[in-house]
Each structure stands twice: as structure tokens, then as C-alpha cells.
Structure 1
Amino acid sequence: MTEPTPKNHGSGFGRATHDRTAHNDGASFGLTRRRALAGGALGVFSAAVLSACSGNEQASKDSSASASPSKTFSPQVTVTPEANAKEVNPVVPVSVTTAEGRMSEVKISGGKDDVKGHVSEDGKTWTSDGNLEFDTNYTIKYTVTGDKGEHQSQSSFATVVAANEADAKINVQEGKTYGTGQVIQIDFSEPVTNKDDIEKSITVTGGGAAPGLFRWYSDTMVRYRPQDLWAPNSEVTIEANILGKDLGNGQIGNQNYKVTFKIGEKHYAFVDNNTKSMKMYVNDNMVREAPVTLGSKDWPSVTGKLVILEQAKKYKFDAKTLGLKKGDEHWYEPFEATNTSRLTDSGAFVHQAEPSAYNVVGVANISHGCIGLLPDDAEFFYDTFEVGDIVETQNTDYGQANPDNGYGDWNIPWEHYTDTSWHGNW
């Protein structure tokens, strides 16, 4: 099937396209390279503990210290991370341990704030509390006090640089209301090769649903859906505890995310090309039946279940975005469609048909793949349905949209949802 390219606007009763980096109700988290302040920002994903910040086997002796030790008191001191370590994971605690005497003072400088810590009951180990900052050079200065005197020294290390930080964005916003078919999507700024570890770091609760499944569409994009639709009038919470996690290839997550969104009433629309009609349901009760015009034989409407991605009262449709030129058989002048609800990235919409098409609505198909309605029906649909609701189309003698062209995830049988090699009718 031919589908327009993303970022293009679709046709009159046909397809329009738009850059759906974030839907109208989409994500509030952008993909940026930024620093997570120590213990301050909520984190993203993962980070393996690099060799430079592992335990005592990698620890430094204070022979590398710049301060001169006391001639009468030179205890063996172990510092982790080891001296001059690079790419240290900011979530790994810093520790200073002495074999003799007691730790009397430890100061870590270099970040925006001093690093706090605590001393063990025996007084021999100081351990930092909270997280460090990314892309920061730190210096540890410490003092050990014993019967023979006082010993001072220092050591330095550097945390993960900005180039190895990873961010993410989630496609739902805090407190917003979505339909019962909303699919959760997380986009990562860097490729994820440690997929199992990242999945374990993400939890989805609520929504009246049993635990769902993940499906990876690429190394940078994963989706999550329950087996059945979310329960109407419920809440769903997503937690991605990926600060300090290793996504793979040394890319370290620099934030944690938590988003709670709401699920509204259950809305569902069934479009049948055989009857040229749309039946609209609210909480499983049919509330309206309306005539439609669908895609023509040259621009047929896709079949299957699709989720409303975004809505706009007005949306510009332009035939040039479909590769058409003035004089082509299917050319039309640019216009603003009314009461629009996007179903695919490539430009399938539910919208109000143009006045010139009113006489064929319910009779023939003349659009470029969209679902056209008469004005009153289009307004009712727009006012009743919301982002996350499902529209199902059947009997157009055409296949489904690719599941990542919009949210076609509900067309994938549950037993195949995690199997990216499985191919449906698209």
C-alpha cells in the first residue's frame, strides 16, 4: 500500500501528515543531553557499573595522594572510585576506608553542591549519600585520625560525560485524560541493547489491567500495552527507574521518570465500507450511526484498529504532500479540514467532508484514505471521542497500516505482541 511520508499534510478527504514528535496530548519529556543534579532530578534509565567504579579490587591506595602523609602515621586507605577514574557512574557511592584509626573528615568538591555522607559505626569507612552529577570532575579530600597522629590526603575522579548520557520521553502527560486504547511509548535518545534490563526498570500500574507486555520497534523505541483495553475512568502510572542504568555501549540513563495519566469513558467507532457507515459507541452503547465516505480505489482506507493520535478543530490538507502536482488526476486545492482526528502518521484522519462531497457521503468513496463525515456527525465525533480512543475500519479490500504508523498495536494478537518478526495483514 502507498502511504505518505511523515511530516506531510494529507488530502482533502484524504491523508494529511504531520510531524508527530509529540501528539497534542503527547509527551512532556524531550530528548536532550543534560545533567542530572545530584539526588535532584528524577532519572531515566540504566548504567552498568564501570570497572573504574567497582569495589575494592579497583580501589586506589593513597600513594597517589598529593598531600604529604605523616611520617609517624601512614594508614592504609582505600578509596573508591580509584584515583583518576573516568566515566564513573554517578549513582555508585563513593567510599573511603582506613585500616587504622578513624575517618574524621571527608570532603568531596567539584559539583554544584557538596556531597554529603556518613561514617560507619566503627569509624573506619565514610560512604557518600545520594547521587553525584554527570560530566563532573570531583576531588576527595580526607583526614584519618589515630593514636599516632593525623593523616591527610586526596584523590580525584570524573563522572560519565555528557556524550554518554541518555534521556527519554514518554508519550503521555501528567494528569491528562486518554482513551481506553492508549498505547504507552517510550523513546530513548540512545540505542538500547540491554533491553531486558531496561524493561525490568519500567513498571506500569493501575488502569484495571493485568500486567502488559513490551514491544520494541527499534533500539530507541519501545511500546507497552495491556492484553485488554484500559478500564474506563481509571488511572495509570508509569515509572521508568533508569537513572544510572546502562542502556548498552556505555550509555547511562540520567533520570528517572514517573507519569500518572487518566483513562476516560470507553469510546469506540466501527466503520464498515459495505454499509458506508460509522457506528459510534460510548461505554458499549451505540449512541450514533453516521454515513461516511472512505478512500477511493486509488487511495483506499486502511483496515483494522487504530488509535486517535491527536485532534484539531482545523487542519490544513495539501495535495503536494502526497506527491501530487496541479493537473494530476487526484490533485485538489489546499484547504482546511474541520473537526479532525488523526489515525496514522502518514495521514489518515476522521474529519468533516468538504461541501462538494456531501452528496456522496454514505454512497461512494472519494477520499484519499480518510473517513469523511457530514458536518453534524463530524462535530459529534470530535466532541465525543478523544486521543487514545479506537476507530476500527473493515471491508475496504485493503490491508492494515504498519503498527508503528500510528498505534496499530491492537491489530497484533496478544500471543505475538513481543515477537517483532511476526507479520500481520500490513
Structure 2
Amino acid sequence: MTSRFPRRRTAALCIASAAVMVAASACSTAPSEGDLANEEPTVAKAQVTITPEDGGTEVRPDSPIVVSADNGTITDVQVEQSLSEGETGQSEAAQDEAAQGETDESMTGAYNDDKTEWVSEWTLHPGSDVTVTAVAENKEGTSTEVISEFSTVPPVEGQRLEIKSINVEPDSTVGVGMPVIVDFDMPVQNKAQVEAAMEVSSEKPAQGAWNWFGDKRAVFRPEEYWEPHQKVTVNLNLAGVAASEGVWGIENREFEFEVGRSQITTIDENAHHMTVERDGQTIKEFPVSLGKANVRKYTTTSGTHLTMAFHTDYRMSNDTLGVSKDDPEYYEEYVDYAVRISNSGEFLHTADWNYQLGEANTSHGCINMSVADSRWFYEESLRGDPVDITGTDRELPVDNGWGFWQRSAQEWISQSATGEADDTTEPGTPGSPHHQQ
């Protein structure tokens, strides 16, 4: 009898163990099809590609930086440039622009519509180490960061394009006709790329373009005179632009100037009369005497001149025209006030010896004025004020001084290397400064 109890207990224990096993297996049962339908799938991370690729050497500085993203959108691109070790051939301005370890604020770029691609707008400093850091996010907001480090071709001695001079002084106030003249130290063959690297921006709407006078001078002017009372900014993003084969720009430069009031002077040769208008209102009139025109070189040029330079106690002589001291026509005078309007020796200046002001043209090509009138004009004028002269049969050449307004607006635009007008209130320029494949 007693031998039966152990066997029954054993049987009960086996049943209990089975129940535990069933419960355990119930907790790890595979999910049903309905459960799978409710589970969110994993979203792939954004994939980012940067060109030029990481580790590149001897990269052309005018190669565009291109960042592209798959499975996401680009949220940030940063470009840092520093001079390569041992690279000392750049100017101080270029070295300031490519300061060690600083983000290059001038390296802006443009996104496509869906922000899956970013392309740099300007070129890179030659002879620099470049770090591009790009970030993209997938639709869940998960970020992917990619870095590309590469170096650009260094400039070669004797093949560095630099700015020799600019006619506009930074932060100066100028007249409404003021052009921007950039003179280079070397010839430029790739004019369209160089034009595209030079951005002019204005606060008020304007359409403008660059024209070239020879291979070393580029001139920007709007189609019409600048609107008065506004700021104009010039960004010369020339570092890394290929001026010609193997010749790289090595510096960027930025400056601003103010366009002042509108002052336009008109001079009638036949009436011996001069009128000054300011902001559309006549403010002053003067009797004057122009060139006597007995020979061509003593004929005042007609057309739109600009005031270029201002002098006091200035030596005037026709020896600059090749007239010797033995010639009866030779003269030498020191005048109280003189305002240059061409490179062929034309000035508005004091002529206290001329007793026929307002009556006859007796000068050697300049505009003669009284002491008081010439002083007023000297003190009230800005560089870049237009001076329109009419009535003579000798036209001012477009390349004589700042005679750039002698070209019509249509002709000025068509003679730019890009062939397009630049809207100065919009970012960027016509064309591209990058290497053309």
C-alpha cells in the first residue's frame, strides 16, 4: 500500500513540470502576421559623398566642391582652408584669407531644390590643405557626418595672378557714374572665369557687367548710373581662379563704397556755359571757355566724362602733349584748382588770365573757369561725378580716362566675356569661376 504514494507524487510532479514548460514556451511564441504589420521598419541612414574625395593631392583649386546625399537631405557644409606647410609664395592678403584653422567664410555654396546636392560657388586657395565637413539627415532626423581632406596645387613662382590696383578707395563716397576698375599684374586669358569670380552687389537694383581693356584691366559699370544714396559691395573671389594655363589667382579681396548724391554737370561748347544739377535740381551755373580748336589737340572732347582726381596749386603745361618751350604755343601755369576728367590732359580748372569766360573758346582743350567758380566745383564734386560735354566734333574715346559711359548699355553688356548682365541685388554672378571641362 505504502509503495503506491511515491509513484502518485511522481506523477503529479511530472504534470506540474509540464505546465511550467507550457507557460515558458508561451512567452517566446513567434509574433503573428498582425504583430509584424504594426512594427515600424528601420530607416536607413543618409549616405553622403564629397568631391574632391578624401586624401586627394594636387587638386586643381578651381575644381568645384560637390556634396551629395542619398536617403536624406544636407543640413550643413563647412569648408576650412589653411596654407600647406612650406607654402610661402602667397601675398599677405591671401594668407589672411587662408588663415590657419579658420572656416573660410567666403566659401559659400548653392543647394539644389530638394537639398540633396550642394556645390561651392567660388574656387579654393592654391597651395592649401582643405577640410570639407558635410552633415545630412534622414527622415527620422538621424545625422550622418562625412569629412574629406585634400590639398590643392600650389602656385608657381612667376605664375601668381595678383591685383595691382583698384580705383575705388574702401569706404569712400563716390559719384553716380563711378566704375570699378581692377588692374592685374599679369595678362588674363580666361576672362569669363575671372569675371565670374568678381561679384558686385548693390542695395538698390542695377544690371551691370565687366568689360576688358587689354588683358590686364577689368572694368565694371551698371547699365545706367548708380542710384544715389546706397552702399555697393565688391567681392573679388580670385584665389584659385585659373587666369590662364598654370596661372592661379592667389588672393581674395572685399571692400565697400557709398554712392552719394547725384550730381551731373553739363557743358555746352557753343554757349560757353556750364550747368550743375544735384538730385535733379539745377544748383549752379557758370560761364566757361573751352578749347579753341585751331588744331585737333586743342579741341575739347565731347561725351560723358567723369571726375577722376582733384588738385590744388597744380602745374598745367602743354609739354605733356610734346610741345617744346621754343614753340610759340608753349605755356606753363600753376592753377589754384584743377579737376581731371580725362587722361589726355582735360581739366576743369582755374584760369584767372582768361577774360573771355562765357564769350569765346580760347583754351588749349581744358574748361577754363574763374577762381571762385573753380573752387566751388573742386569743393562740391566727388570722384565719379558725370561731366557731359556737347558741341565739339571730337568724341571722347571709351578708353580715355574713365570714358566708359561712351559705350551704350547694350554694347557694354554684349562686350563682357560672359555676355550676360549681372543683377547686383541677387547673389552670385553670371557664369562660373570653376574649371570648364
How many angstroms does 1:356 deviate by?
Answer: 2.3
The within-5 A match list for 1:5-84 is: 79-81=55-57
Paired position in structure 2 for 1:410: 405
Secondary structure of the corresponding residue to residue 176 of structure 2: coil
Paired position in structure 2 for 1:349: 347
Secondary structure of the corresponding residue to residue 192 of structure 2: helix
Distance 1:158 1:232, change over 3 A: closer
Distance 1:131 1:306, change over 3 A: closer
1:374 matched to 2:373? The reply is no
8 Å CA contact 1:89–1:159 kept in 2: the answer is: no
Secondary structure of the corresponding residue to residue 344 of structure 2: coil
8 Å CA contact 1:174–1:261 kept in 2: the answer is: yes
Name the CA distance, whole Å, in 1 between partners of 2:152 and 2:213: 38
Name the CA distance, whole Å, in 2 between partners of 1:288 and 1:211: 31
1:339 matched to 2:330? The reply is no
Name the CA distance, whole Å, in 1 between partners of 2:410 and 2:153: 46
Distance 1:377 1:158, change over 3 A: closer
Name the CA distance, whole Å, in 2 between partners of 1:402 and 1:218: 15
8 Å CA contact 1:351–1:378 kept in 2: the answer is: yes
1:394 matched to 2:390? The reply is yes
Name the CA distance, whole Å, in 2 between partners of 1:90 and 1:173: 29
Alignment-mate amino acid for residue 313 of structure 1: T
Distance 1:171 1:411, change over 3 A: same
Distance 1:91 1:316, change over 3 A: same
How many angstroms does 1:91 deviate by?
Answer: 7.9
1:202 matched to 2:198? The reply is yes
Q: In terms of Rg, which structure is larger?
A: 2
How many angstroms does 1:209 deviate by?
Answer: 3.4
Residues 333-354 of structure 1 deviation map (CA, whole Å, 9 limit, x = unaligned):
x22122111011121001111x
Q: TM-score, normalised by structure 1?
A: 0.63
Secondary structure of the corresponding residue to residue 163 of structure 1: coil
Residues 69-89 of structure 1 deviation map (CA, whole Å, 9 limit, x = unaligned):
xxxxxxxxx9532xxx6xx65
Paired position in structure 2 for 1:248: 244
8 Å CA contact 2:125–2:239 kept in 1: the answer is: no
Q: TM-score, normalised by structure 2?
A: 0.62
How many angstroms does 1:394 deviate by?
Answer: 0.6
Paired position in structure 1 for 2:162: 167
- How many residues align? The count is 296
How many angstroms does 1:300 deviate by?
Answer: 0.8
Name the CA distance, whole Å, in 2 between partners of 1:352 and 1:161: 51
Which residues of structure 2 form unaligned runs of 5+?
1-50, 65-83, 89-94, 103-122, 130-150, 417-437
Secondary structure of the corresponding residue to residue 206 of structure 2: coil
Name the CA distance, whole Å, in 1 between partners of 2:154 and 2:226: 41
Name the CA distance, whole Å, in 2 between partners of 1:215 and 1:131: 25
How many angstroms does 1:275 deviate by?
Answer: 0.9
- Percent identical among aligned pairs is 27
1:228 matched to 2:224? The reply is yes
Distance 1:237 1:289, change over 3 A: same
Aligned Cα root-mean-square deviation (Å): 3.2
Which residues of structure 1 form unaligned runs of 5+?
1-53, 57-77, 94-107, 118-129, 139-155, 422-426
How many angstroms does 1:284 deviate by?
Answer: 1.3
